[in-house]
């Protein structure tokens, strides 16, 4: 039977229990600190120790072991190891740098039926320390990843880091499946059915639709949600990665067609959160950029629901960038404004050197273009319409305020689309191609 087949993976609850660390070098100090953080009572046996360098508080320096310190400090037995130093221990780590000493510690632990980790030669010990990563979750719990790779700690660390990155990004399933346990006040230590609790709401900006452009936090929250209420322009490809028991509610709107009005969306957020479910409101772009995120935030707060806004990559900036149009550029445009195609475009100040970005403006493009043409912003100001940014039918149509509506109609432009007005349009490959 190989070494790997002889290992029974197990998590140990060491809080309040005595663990002995033999050795005072960096490896021993790291082990001691991890044990202190886990709540163990730690005894270090070594003539010299680098405890202070690792921020480990020492309760006392003694010549012989005592009953041991509390869990927040360590007891330092300042001398070489002796048989008997393991008395009362549940676990021992030895990292002295001396093979004979580590062997003696391991033999003493074997006789005392204490599991022993040996840093110098893993084959001598009876326990191994895995490479560990901890990922905190929104419900107050955490996922702990522990990886062993035989006698190759660097391989274990590399695998741990890769898995941890996937957990933090939300690429792996993080939803809780068991009810949240609570403790009865009348019967300490016993578990009872959880009382009714309010769920939480996250207003997540999903970016312009490309799954790779949602934030890591947004994707992590999506992986933990019980209910996802999604807009038409959110990154819908991520919905296929959700657990089958996640409820997905489509509230997508199209131009002139709002099957689920805003007040009903607000009611859905409150309804599911009050039922104890964690809700992700998955929106396109950023919740606060013409996304009605402020309204939904206010509604949740008024109902006493815990709510958080998770910013997203706004389409007002990212979609123009997808076709090579920067909203600002030194010597071309020093600022930009974002508005909807329904707003009073004629009231927007600035000339061709101030970029205008219009969202939801395709249906009223001719009207907006006519209103935007002013003495400061002449009719020959460049304009572009970018359809389905980052989507399968991404396309850009360029022209000027004088002819962009006509060109868009001839090309059959349809929503979703972002309109850009200003000299920055000249920087796009589409404009240069048209000039040729």
Give tens-digit pLDDT for 364-381.
999 999 999 988 899 999
> Which CATH number do you get for residue 29?
3.40.50.720
Tokens 């632990």 sit on residue: 109
In terms of C-beta distances under 8 Å and separation of at least 24 residues, what long-range contacts does 153-158 make, across chains too?
156/130, 156/131, 157/131
From 162-166, 309-313, 319-323, 401-405, the region with the lowest mean pLDDT: 162-166
Q: 50 burial class (0-12, 13-18, 19+ CB within 10 angstroms)?
A: middle
Q: Where are the beta strands (DSSP E) in 313-394?
A: 335-340, 354-359, 382-387
Residues 210, 137 share a domain: no
Residues 75, 146 share a domain: no
Residues 136, 54 share a domain: no
Catalytic residue, candidates 108, 226, 231, 353: 231
Residues 162, 82 share a domain: no
Closest CA to 18 of 92, 118, 110: 92
Whether 22 maps to a domain, the answer reads yes
Residues 107, 89 share a domain: yes
Strand pairing report for 382-387 and 279-283: unpaired
Give the mean model confidence (pLDDT) for residues 62-82.
Answer: 86
Whether 189 maps to a domain, the answer reads no
pLDDT at 7: 75
> Which CATH number do you get for residue 216?
3.40.1010.10
Residues 153, 241 share a domain: no
pLDDT in tens, 2-57: 566 677 888 899 999 999 999 999 999 989 999 998 999 999 999 998 888 778 88
pLDDT at 52: 80
pLDDT at 2: 58
pLDDT in tens, 73-110: 899 999 999 999 999 999 999 999 999 999 999 999 99
Cis previous bond, 416, omega within 30: yes
Whether 14 maps to a domain, the answer reads yes
Strand pairing report for 395-400 and 382-387: antiparallel
Answering whether pTM is above 0.85, one says: no
pLDDT at 179: 58
Q: What residues make up the domain containing 85?
A: 4-129
Whether 181 maps to a domain, the answer reads no
Whether 191 maps to a domain, the answer reads no
Neighbouring-strand partners of residue 191: 183
Task: Report the C-alpha gap between 42 and 57 in whole angstroms.
Answer: 11
pLDDT at 192: 44
> Using 50, 70 and 90 to split pLDDT, how confident is the model at 349?
confident
Q: Coil, helix or strand for 44?
A: strand
pLDDT at 3: 61
Residues 264, 244 share a domain: yes
The answer to whether 13 is a known catalytic residue is: no
Whether 187 maps to a domain, the answer reads no
Residues 6+ apart with CB under 8 A from 6: none
Separation of CA 331 from chain center: 37
Residues 349, 267 share a domain: no
Catalytic residue, candidates 210, 250, 253, 423: 253
Residues 293, 321 share a domain: no
Number of domains in the chain: 4
> Using 50, 70 and 90 to split pLDDT, how confident is the model at 131?
confident
Task: Report the C-alpha gap between 40 and 88 in whole angstroms.
Answer: 13
Residue 386 reports pLDDT greater than 90: yes
Which of 129, 161, 185 is the last residue before a domain boundary? 129
pLDDT at 435: 73
Residues 326, 302 share a domain: no
Residues 114, 25 share a domain: yes
pLDDT at 200: 94
């Amino acid at each position: 039977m190989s070494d790997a087949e002889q290992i029974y993976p197990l998590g140990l609850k060491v809080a309040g229990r005595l663990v002995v660390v033999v050795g005072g070098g960096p490896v021993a100090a790291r082990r001691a600190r991890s044990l202190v953080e886990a709540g163990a009572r730690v005894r270090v046996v070594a003539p010299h120790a680098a405890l202070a360098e690792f921020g480990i508080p020492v309760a006392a320096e003694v010549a012989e072991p005592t009953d041991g310190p509390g869990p927040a400090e360590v007891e330092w037995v300042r001398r070489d190891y002796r048989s008997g130093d393991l008395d009362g221990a549940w676990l021992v780590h030895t990292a002295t740098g001396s093979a004979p000493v580590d062997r003696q510690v391991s033999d003493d632990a074997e006789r005392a039926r204490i599991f022993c980790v040996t840093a110098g030669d893993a084959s001598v010990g009876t326990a191994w320390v895995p490479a560990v990563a901890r990922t905190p979750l929104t419900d107050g719990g955490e996922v702990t990843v522990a990886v062993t790779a035989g006698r190759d700690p660097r391989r274990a660390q590399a695998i741990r880091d890769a898995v941890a990155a996937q957990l933090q990004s939300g690429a792996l399933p993080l939803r809780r499946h068991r009810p949240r346990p609570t403790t009865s006040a009348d019967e300490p230590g016993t578990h009872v059915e959880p009382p009714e609790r309010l769920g939480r709401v996250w207003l997540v900006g999903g970016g312009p639709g490309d799954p790779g452009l949602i934030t890591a936090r947004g994707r992590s929250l999506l992986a933990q949600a019980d209910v996802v209420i999604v807009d038409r322009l959110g990154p819908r490809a991520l919905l296929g990665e959700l657990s089958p028991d996640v409820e997905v509610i489509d509230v997508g709107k199209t131009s002139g067609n709002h099957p689920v009005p805003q007040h009903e969306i607000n009611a859905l957020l409150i309804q599911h959160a009050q039922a104890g479910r964690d809700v992700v409101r998955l929106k396109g772009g950023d919740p606060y950029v013409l996304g009605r995120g402020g309204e939904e935030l206010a509604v949740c707060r008024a109902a006493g629901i815990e709510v958080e806004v998770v910013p997203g990559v706004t389409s007002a900036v990212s979609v123009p960038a997808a076709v090579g149009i920067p909203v600002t550029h030194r010597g071309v445009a020093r600022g930009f404004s974002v508005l909807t195609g329904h707003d009073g475009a004629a009231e927007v100040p600035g000339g061709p050197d101030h970029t205008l970005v219009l969202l939801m403006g395709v249906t009223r493009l001719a009207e907006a273009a006519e209103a935007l043409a002013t003495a400061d912003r002449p009719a020959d100001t460049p304009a572009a319409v970018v359809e389905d940014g980052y989507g399968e039918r991404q396309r850009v149509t360029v022209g000027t305020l004088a002819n962009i509506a006509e060109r868009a109609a001839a090309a059959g432009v349809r929503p979703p689309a972002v309109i850009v007005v200003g000299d920055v349009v000249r920087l796009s490959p589409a404009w240069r191609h048209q000039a040729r």
